[in-house]
Structure 1
């Protein structure tokens, strides 16, 4: 099921920062092929039946464990090796099918989805991406069949979003081995896994100086010196296992190094970039279940002689919940489809999927609980479990705050082929390697680039019923490009330390991508001869609700670029810190 032919494509979200849309990358919407549809339906139905029959979600949550029989059943379905080639024991699914199957698991239970995602979306993803043929042949067959579980070890007690600051160290022994010492925190699957992708600092001689860089090592559970902390007691996703992992002078052979020595940071970021995609897909699955529950309750619950589904404020919630699902689904499968077609740099798109999807899920969960009212607050109903399980999505695989910064600063960069015009190759190289650390070098180039783009009509292939919405998108994109340019002119390299304008830029970029994906997907649906008119009408309505919602976010942030109270916010926050909290008592004031 893997894509055979790929043509390299530009980042769609990256182009938005230039005020550009390359319509060939957007239209038609990259829907499922007939082969994907046939296999996908069969696989999704099998997963759905298994989960419905085998998962006692309340019991797993209460006992904080996934039973062995569940693990065995998941393995028999092939869910531990969805992205691994068939010759190595996997299903060989492409990104699109992988995401759809993963969403089905997440529709039933967040803890099971977390375990599966931690295993393959990130656990052995570095091996899949960068491993040698020998390494893949050695480990992937057991990992793909679920015989061995994998774990991703990056986070440390003093290193969360700032991965550069990890302390775990691997020392070259000079005999073909390394001694690994350190600890990792909040590691999913830690105690049950047999395979660990571990990121550690290694020494490198550069220009006569010894400097530390990050490298990636395969560590196996049976190696002497590997131990674990107690199982963490979590708010949600309780059945998934989370522990600290300790490495006490673990001897690791050099054959266990994944990729090039010293290139581990890039390897880790690439792993997380793809992992965020499955997280966004999982959020779609969770939202669908919550909307189904909320709809059933709204239709069955009567007040004042009528089902509450007939009340305007409930209708408002149901419509927006459905539109959130439609929007998230659109960006996820716009992204996966283009990755299958050859989108090489997809880190911006997957970050949008993670941030938008996780926050959409949280909102849908909140609204579903509100519709359920008192029932939603009671433990005998599943709403509170979904809410507890949902909260982590805005934290792991990059907090939504750090990803907003990442989106804004990465988006402001210019494409690598245009950087040569700037000169100062060292500064340019540094900016490309880490946009969060170096953005000032881009300023002068960006001014001229953006100003050329304003005023052009950008998308033209939308269905005529979406002409109004497409026109508004074009206008907003032009204004967004101007504000990006203005921000660079105003802050220059100091944009790095100004997170409030970064947040506004990220919000606009995310919602412009949502608008673009929704317009493209709805256009394909309206143009299809296979979709009946009732479904077309429904999708058009969903699109209009989603587009209005996204447009409002962009407009609000455009206005806030010049009309804001950032200085007051900072001053007030400083005072709160000085007071160690609120610092006031109504008795005295």
Structure 2
């Protein structure tokens, strides 16, 4: 993601705010998940100061708050995604599945052509490309349905927007790893088979998450959550007593 957005900036693309927000969300949350898993694998020793992992975990926590909280950035990603991913003919950069040359870090490689005219270079990643395309199409359908249903009030549907943002982040990740694996295969790099396996694995898992995120959204459940939250705010704390009565 970092190489891709840097290449877009180096090419002079003036519009990369959504990709930057996605990269910040993904990077900060992936780092937290990896550090947390590392402590779990190390067991009790991971919680001690000597290995230093607990310090890493504490330091990483702030990145989900600084430079725009991930919660606010998700709203931005979802609303921007309606405009960008909701119109496949206008996709740009990695979301348009650039060819392997244009996917090189730093922008190396041939011209990708103007937005809307770029075509996937599968480079042996036909399965991943098909899954990514399916997710893009589903995202477009979902975006259109939500905008028709809610109109401008979509900004108030934050439970829905979180699901949409999570799908957008996964779709962008699929496109990025597919582009990088295609580049490695196209250049015949010795790491190409491993990169292809990484790409295949990521796209398979992200594909399932996107299908889950964009399935018919349970508005009744969201209303229940909103009512529960309202009750807690009105009560100023826990609404029901503990089983012991205090």
Q: Structure 2: how far apart are the matches of 1:505 and 1:459?
A: 25
Q: Give the TM-score normalised by the residue count of structure 1.
A: 0.35
Q: Which has the larger radius of gyration?
A: 1
Alignment of 1:58-137 (within 5 A): none
| Structure 1 pair 561–450 and aligned structure 2 pair: CA distance change class (3 A) | farther
* Large movers: runs of 4+ above 6 Å: none
Give the gaps of 5 or more residues in structure 1. Answer: 1-330, 415-445
Q: What's the offset of the Cα at 1:571? A: 1.0
Alignment of 1:158-557 (within 5 A): 331-413=1-83, 459-464=119-124, 466-529=125-188, 531-532=189-190, 535-557=191-213
The answer for the alignment partner of 1:325 in structure 2 is: none
For residue 238 of structure 2, give the secondary structure of its aligned residue in structure 1.
coil
Q: CA RMSD in A?
A: 2.4
Deviations 1:227-270 (A, max 9, x none): xxxxxxxxxxxxxxxxxxxxxxxxxxxxxxxxxxxxxxxxxxxx
Q: What's the offset of the Cα at 1:450? A: 7.3
Q: Structure 1: how far apart are the matches of 2:216 and 2:4?
A: 29
The answer for the alignment partner of 2:242 in structure 1 is: 585
Q: How many residues align?
A: 218
Q: Give the TM-score normalised by the residue count of structure 2.
A: 0.81
* More relative contact order, 1 or 2 (CA 8 Å, 6+ apart): 2
Q: Structure 2: how far apart are the matches of 1:516 and 1:413?
A: 18
| Structure 1 pair 563–542 and aligned structure 2 pair: CA distance change class (3 A) | farther
For residue 214 of structure 2, give the secondary structure of its aligned residue in structure 1.
helix
For residue 369 of structure 1, give the secondary structure of its aligned residue in structure 2.
helix
Q: Structure 1: how far apart are the matches of 2:38 and 2:16?
A: 32
For residue 236 of structure 2, give the secondary structure of its aligned residue in structure 1.
coil
Alignment of 1:568-583 (within 5 A): 568-583=224-239
Q: What's the offset of the Cα at 1:588? A: 3.9
Q: What's the offset of the Cα at 1:574? A: 1.3
Deviations 1:409-457 (A, max 9, x none): 233347xxxxxxxxxxxxxxxxxxxxxxxxxxxxxxx8xx679x9xxxx
Q: Structure 1: how far apart are the matches of 2:216 and 2:54?
A: 35
Greater helix content: 2
Q: Structure 2: how far apart are the matches of 1:539 and 1:528?
A: 12
2:131 and 2:204 in contact (8 A); partners too? no
Q: Structure 2: how far apart are the matches of 1:459 and 1:579?
A: 55
1:483 and 1:561 in contact (8 A); partners too? no
Q: Structure 2: how far apart are the matches of 1:397 and 1:564?
A: 33
1:450 and 1:482 in contact (8 A); partners too? no
Q: Structure 2: how far apart are the matches of 1:553 and 1:461?
A: 24
Give the gaps of 5 or more residues in structure 2. Answer: 92-117
Q: Structure 2: how far apart are the matches of 1:386 and 1:545?
A: 27
Q: What's the offset of the Cα at 1:560? A: 4.8
Deviations 1:19-55 (A, max 9, x none): xxxxxxxxxxxxxxxxxxxxxxxxxxxxxxxxxxxxx
1:394 and 1:400 in contact (8 A); partners too? yes
The answer for the alignment partner of 1:295 in structure 2 is: none
1:369 and 1:377 in contact (8 A); partners too? yes
Greater strand content: 1
The answer for the alignment partner of 1:186 in structure 2 is: none
